[in-house]
Amino acid sequence: MTSHRKKDFKTANNTYPTNGAEVLLNVLSDLGVDLIFGYPGGAVLPIYDALFKQKRICHILTRHEQAAVHAAEAYARSTGKVGVVLVTSGPGATNIVTGLVDALMDSVPIICLTGQVFSNLIGNDAFQEADTTGITRAATKFNYLIKNNLELSKTIHEAFYIAKSGRPGPVLLDIPKDVMLAPTPYESEKVCSHPSYRPPVEPDRKAVARAVEAMRQAKRPLFYTGGGIINSGVKASEDLQKLVKRTGFPCTSTLMGLGAYPASDPQFLGMLGMHGTYEANLATHGCDVLIALGARFDDRVTGTIDGFSPNSLKIHADIDPSQINKIILVDIPIIGDVGLTIELMLKEWEKSPIKPNEESLKLWWKQIDEWRSIKCLRYKQETANGSVIKPQHAIRRLYELSKDRDKDVYVTTEVGQHQMWAAQYFPFDKPNHWMTSGGLGTMGYGLPAAVGTQLAHPDSFVFDIAGEGSTMMNIQELATIKQYHLPVKIFILNNHYLGMVRQWQELVHGGRYSESYSASLPDFVKLAESFGIKGLRANTIEELDPVITEMLDHEGPVLVDVCVEMVENCFPMIPAGSPHNHILLGPLIENEVKTKTTSKP
Amino acid sequence: MDWVDIKSLKANQLKDTFVTAVFSLIVENESGVLARVIGLFSGRGYNIESLTVAPIEKDGRKSRINILTSGTAMVINQIKEQLNRQVPVYQVINLDEQGPYVARELALIKVVSTGPERTEALNLADAFRAQVVDASVSSLVFELTGKTEKIDAFVDLLRPLGLVELSRTGIAAISRGVQTI
Ligand SMILES: Cc1ncc(C[n+]2csc(CCOP(=O)(O)OP(=O)(O)O)c2C)c(N)n1
Ligand SMILES: [Mg+2]
């Protein structure tokens, strides 16, 4: 894709023909980057100038630097590539901090290039100077302040390697303006690694063998899968499916892992955790062997630590050794790439004909099916004309009306009730199709994430399942969507509340709805139209299907304002501080099945 | 220093057993590495009781950091792994876990006094094998190297004798025997 110039090629007057900015773009291009997200400013003007003069790298102008990072995150997560961000010094750099922490928490490989004031001004409180490496040290996997032009090429290679290897994460390069302007040697070396950086890869085979041995002895086994499987690559998901099928064990997933195992498969129990399904949570509570793969026992998954899966032997496979025994003490840790671990588990499983006791496994499934029969995700949608739309139903219809359209469907979300409903009611059968802010829970993620996803998959459907509150946090991205003709479908479940906050206030704070009403909302339809984007509204149930259909039929971007039930709560819910068997199912189901919440396997 | 072998603890003891630990880290000597290590401790709520750092190679590329910390055995294990995953960290060992080790620190202690107090201070210095590295008519600076407890004891004894200023390095530590990091 690019002609590799000779190393250390200098011009007649013994200097380099390219400046730092040009070298930077050349190296990015060598690394396979063809798209970057950013926002210009004084300290990065030389890079923008270099961008202007070339064609290999396309720059997407978001309308806020935070949005550039979220877009890059979603680009990365939906493609498996590294997302690249370019912003200016000072306010440009401080604006990306939320995005960096989001990427850090969710292990997304991101390279962030920030401009910095001239080297000789650093430390002088120069115009638009900020201590970017200081501010972002805890927000990145690693960061650099480039001090020397001779290091530029090498450092970019190194940064990419660090961002995508091991447990992926964001890496920031702070580049003073003089480095961008000075003649700089261009090196096209491929792999380059930091001398002290050694990410673990190969899992310990003995540990895998012990794990598989425990799996053979299991009576009530459960796979608990997480985002690490998706990070490991598509093959990890394929192998997971094989392993789950071969063993016949049930499988649950974290929010971040959705799609790694097909939701439509009967062995899938749905998501676990605070808003996970009844069957997934009770299976987690009651299992005797818990096989955690690429998941990290987040507190939204575990509930109270002491009550978490109290009687199980725990196997934990993760590439990051610091996740082992961090929250939950495990019996068999396996450190390494989870995809490799699954592959080895499969091989080990096939080695011997010894399989778990069929009778116990059957009993376990019988118990699970009993839990399942409660149908914890039921909701009641009135169908008479004029009835209020239930948010769950809106998501269900979005799924049903889009699934047979011969287009791949990608979903991004904002953060709140709608996010949990999307996780519950929009099934994913493939990895990399679900982009949500899990670890940080960043409102304002979904809209820019839809930008990044659509750019990566121009011919697919990209739905941003959103709340009205979150949408307001990065609403300026409507302009980005318009500028690049991105056919994103923004699906706002408008309940006029910061719904998740309202739900907690209802359930935990005595119904004191402190500041959770979304007052003074814009007319989203008119707002969209003012950006040149089609706006639609569904007020009542009979308008829902036609509006979704119109949205899907429209070739360009559409914003749909779905007016939903204002005070609907998201169930099941494990109240903070409770164990999994104290799961609340909501009034609809609890009135029907009074006794079930305390049943144990 | 007495130590608990974390590796011998049962799972349930990890959460309840409170231990101290001396970590020795070999790090790439680049800007920000110390901030990264310290930030990790403050950001995750771990203790630092003392910390020393200095280059250990001729070209100055690698440094050794010694950190004295305490916490439950589970937290100590966490600290080790969290340190280990930092990009500029080559190696981390928990000396308390590895086996017996020597830990020493150095203190410079200024005493301003005259007459019998000054004499008494000099006598104590003799007993503790502290060096007098600076003296004026009314002041003395002692240098003492040793275990933390020894320095604590010396300092306590000097307090009523005109101790006015204290500068301590924190510990440097190394394992006993042939074992290396
Ligand atoms: C940036 C940020 N600020 C605050 C929160 C806390 N928070 C979590 S959910 C939520 C409400 C979201 O409201 P909305 O987008 O309307 O979604 P809903 O819950 O109503 O579906 C808030 C304020 C957050 N997650 N992110
Ligand atoms: Mg809302």
pLDDT, tens digit, for every residue of B45-64? Answer: 999 999 999 999 989 899 99
Q: What is the pLDDT of residue A2?
A: 39
Q: Answer whether B128 touches A (CB < 8 Å).
A: no
**Choice between B30 and A568, residue whose per-residue pLDDT is larger:** A568
In 10 A of CB A384, how many CB atoms? Answer: 8
The domains of chain B, with CATH numbers, are: 3-99 (3.30.70.260), 102-174 (3.30.70.1150)
What is the DSSP code (8-state) at residue B176? S
**Binding site membership of A253 for ligand 1 (Cβ less than 6 Å):** no
Given A166, A196, A329, which is nearest B89 (Cβ)? A196
The CA distance from A353 to A361, in Å, is 16
A187 neighbors A7 (Cβ within 8 angstroms) = yes
Please judge whether B39 and A138 are an interchain contact, meaning their C-beta atoms are less than 8 angstroms apart. yes
d(CA A331, CA A211): 9
Cross-chain CB nearest to A320 (options B11, B28, B85): B85
| pLDDT at residue A600, as a whole number | 47
Q: Which residue of A has its CA nearest to B26?
A: A196
Asked whether the beta carbons of A102 and A69 are under 8 A apart, the reply is yes
Please give the mean pLDDT across all residues of chain B: 93
Query: For position B102, what pLDDT does the model report?
Result: 96
Output the pLDDT for position A1: 35
Question: Tokens 């196997």 belong to which residue?
Answer: A315
Beta strand pairing call for A170-176 and A268-271? unpaired
Q: Which of A106, A255, A389, A500 to mutate to test the pocket of ligand 1 (most atoms within 8 A of CB)?
A: A500
Instruction: Answer for the pair A182, A148: CB distance below 8 angstroms, yes or no.
Output: no
Res B14: pLDDT: 79
* Mean per-residue pLDDT, B152-176: 97
Q: Can you give the pLDDT at residue A4? A: 41
Its ipTM equals: 0.91
Q: Give me the amino acid identity at A231.
A: N
Chain centroid offset of residue B79 CA = 17
**d(C-alpha A508, C-alpha A506), whole Å:** 6
Run means of pLDDT, 10 residues per run, chain A, 601 residues: 45 77 96 97 98 97 98 98 98 98 98 98 97 98 96 95 97 98 84 82 95 97 98 98 98 98 98 98 98 96 92 97 93 97 97 92 98 97 98 98 97 98 98 98 98 98 98 98 98 98 96 97 98 98 98 98 98 92 93 61 45
Can you say how many angstroms the Cα of residue A305 is from the centroid of all Cα atoms in its chain? 24
Interchain pair B87, A162: CB under 8 A: yes
Spatial distance between the Cα atoms of A153 and A23, rounded to a whole number of angstroms? 7
Ligand with smallest separation from the Cα of A495:
2
Tell me, what's the pLDDT at A17? 82
| A133 and chain B in contact, CB less than 8 A | yes
In the block, which residue shows the tokens 């720059």?
A: A59
Sort A382 into a burial class: Cβ within 10 Å, 0-12 / 13-18 / 19+.
middle
Indicate whether residue A470 lines ligand 1 (CB < 6 A): yes
